[in-house]
Amino acid sequence: MRVVLQRVSSASVSIDEKQVGAINQGYMLLVGAEDTDGAEEIDYLVRKISRLRVFSDDAGKMNLSIQDIHGSILSVSQFTLYADTKKGNRPSFVKAGNPDHADKIYQQFNTQLKQEGIPVETGEFGADMQVSLVNDGPVTIVFDTDNK
């Protein structure tokens, strides 16, 4: 799995000009899965993301987790995280997971984040979405379970 995490002060996702998810302070996650991903990858990412300390404490040091600040997550599926741009100018997406499998992984990932007590808003898997966010910092972190 690949996840791009951005610390945000706000984020929203819309489909056909209708807002389907929005958060204030927390994380905007772009989530991609491949066919070999399963429970082990989900568990690893949920543990890392729910405990990641990138919010400022009273001393201004990145020392607080999303749970410490009572933040929320906006999770958006993003198969293009598996783009292969090695040949030519048009990316190949053959490494992205089969849509049925990837959707299952994405849904389970979001469910497990919610089980950690973190409010999670989502886009719609496979939909053409418009995402808006205010990156706070900016802070952007990339997770790839192939490199854990």
- pLDDT per residue over 16-41, tens digit each? 999 999 999 999 999 999 999 999 99
Catalytic residue among 6, 36, 55, 79: 79
Task: Tell me the pLDDT tens digit for each residue of 100-113.
Answer: 999 999 999 999 99
What rounded mean pLDDT belongs to the chain?
Answer: 96
Taking the C-alpha atoms of residue 86 and residue 62, their distance in angstroms, rounded to an integer, is 36
Instruction: Report yes or no: 52 and 5 within 8 Å, Cβ to Cβ.
Output: yes
Q: Is position 85 annotated as part of the catalytic site?
A: no
In the chain, what are the domains?
2-147 (3.50.80.10)
Both tokens of residue 29? 């996650």
Q: Is position 79 annotated as part of the catalytic site?
A: yes
Taking the C-alpha atoms of residue 50 and residue 43, their distance in angstroms, rounded to an integer, is 11
Is the overall model pTM greater than 0.85, yes or no?
yes
Q: Which amino acid is at 35?
A: D
Closest CA to 136 of 27, 22, 23, 15: 27
Catalytic residue among 36, 80, 130, 140: 80
Catalytic residue among 36, 55, 67, 78: 78
